[in-house]
Amino acid sequence: MATIAITTANLEEQLAKRGLLLLDFWADWCGPCKAFAPVYEALSEERPDVIFGKVDTEAEPGLAAAAGIHAIPTLAAFKDGTLVFFQAGALPRPALTDVVEQLSALDADQVRAAAKAHPDHAPHLMPE
């Protein structure tokens, strides 16, 4: 599966899907973002079971602000709609592959239980 553009209009729909959703927050002027893009795209082709989304922080500043993006690229991952990973910086291919494998193996019921136990840690990605 190729990457998909994530916008305010389709974010909720993507978060509602079961499984793993990765979001790459990026901008066209960002050198590290440009270096990370082919790595992210290549893995998206190899892992059709994972949704690989891209959020253009210039086109979607509200989403970037709501997600607390202070540096790009930043990778956020959601398992069944629950935030499970958030890290700034371009990951090398082996590290990105490892992150995807580990997050794919997470038990969604345990993730939901942990999120319910700590609602103050839940992300608020929709802009106000």
CA distance 72 to 30: 7
Give the whole-angstrom CA distance, residue 4 versus residue 122: 23
Q: Just list the catalytic residues.
A: 30, 33
- Rounded Cα distance between 97 and 102, Å, is 9
Query: Are the C-beta atoms of residues 8 and 59 closer than 8 Å to each other?
Result: no
